[in-house]
Amino acid sequence: MQLREVRRWQWIAAGLLLGAAIGAVRSRNPADLGGYERIIASRFEFEDALISEQQGVRRFRNLCVYPARLAEDRGGGRAVHIVVGDYFDGKFEMIDGNLCARWRKGCFIAEIPFRRADDASSGAHQTVLDYLDSFSGKGVRYSFAW
């Protein structure tokens, strides 16, 4: 079948299917925390996982930052950034007789403005993006899902 043999209704159907698929992917809400195996609850743990390594590999890697709004009890919501990536808690598991690192899909909810765990000495970063940028020279990489 050549391109010129495709009928108009087939182009329309293909366009609708492609549009629906793109819309489904883009509407995925990172604030739905049920899809993560590990929610990093403390800033200390988040900061440690960013820079500490286990056998030469960062414990929180393949990072992507999503802007999100978390619902509040009285309506509305508050703006946050959700940092998503592969997380290793540092505890090896026995798999088929070998000790292996088990990577889990993890996330950290960063308030805006973002404060470091030792905020008494460092103050606030504008956002977690600024904080992550400060580690770019140390090999911390991320993408921003705008």
**pLDDT given for residue 31 in this prediction:** 53
**pLDDT given for residue 65 in this prediction:** 92
Residue ranges with strand state E in the chain: 38-40, 53-54, 57-58, 60-71, 77-87, 93-95, 98-100, 104-111, 114-115, 124-125, 142-144
**pLDDT given for residue 135 in this prediction:** 80
Domains of the chain, residue spans: 31-144
pTM: 0.68
Q: What average pLDDT values come out for the chain (146 residues) when binned by 10 residues?
A: 78 82 57 68 85 79 87 74 87 83 86 76 72 83 84
**pLDDT given for residue 46 in this prediction:** 87
